[in-house]
């Protein structure tokens, strides 16, 4: 598993909301809460770990991006950490001092 995690980590990059819009329009954007590890979630998707993914979905720490998310992101234009686990594009908003709770 560590090889997969390392590969996913190397494929992680930063993407702006403007660049992400086309993926949102296709319905393939999954948002990951900033409190959990983006690469761990990508690994769970890549290995089809449905038990843990269902738990994260139920907790709301992982979710398909909604229209409300898109409206918020359009207003703020944030940058995201991003990794692709086909067909999904997983994103986690980059935290800055202004948007840390």
Q: What pLDDT digit, counting tens, does each position of 26-38 carry?
A: 999 999 999 999 9
pLDDT-derived band at 98, boundaries 50, 70, 90? low
pLDDT at 67 over 80: yes
pLDDT at 9 over 90: no
3-state secondary structure of 73: helix
pLDDT at 17 over 70: yes
Strand duo 88-93 + 29-32: pairing: parallel
Q: Are 83 and 42 in contact (CB under 8 A)?
A: yes
Mean pLDDT for the chain overall? 91
Whole-number pLDDT of residue 60: 95
Whole-number pLDDT of residue 97: 54
Radius of gyration of the CA atoms of the chain, in A: 13
């Amino acid at each position: 598993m560590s090889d997969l995690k390392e590969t996913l980590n190397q494929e992680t990059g930063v993407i702006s909301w403007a660049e992400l819009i086309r993926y949102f329009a296709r319905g393939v954007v999954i948002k990951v809460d900033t409190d959990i590890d983006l690469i761990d979630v990508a690994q769970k998707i890549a290995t089809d770990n449905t038990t843990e993914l269902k738990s994260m979905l139920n907790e709301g720490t992982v979710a398909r991006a909604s229209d409300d998310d898109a409206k918020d992101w359009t207003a703020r234009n944030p940058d995201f950490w991003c990794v692709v686990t086909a067909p999904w594009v997983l994103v986690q908003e980059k935290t800055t001092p202004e948007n840390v709770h």
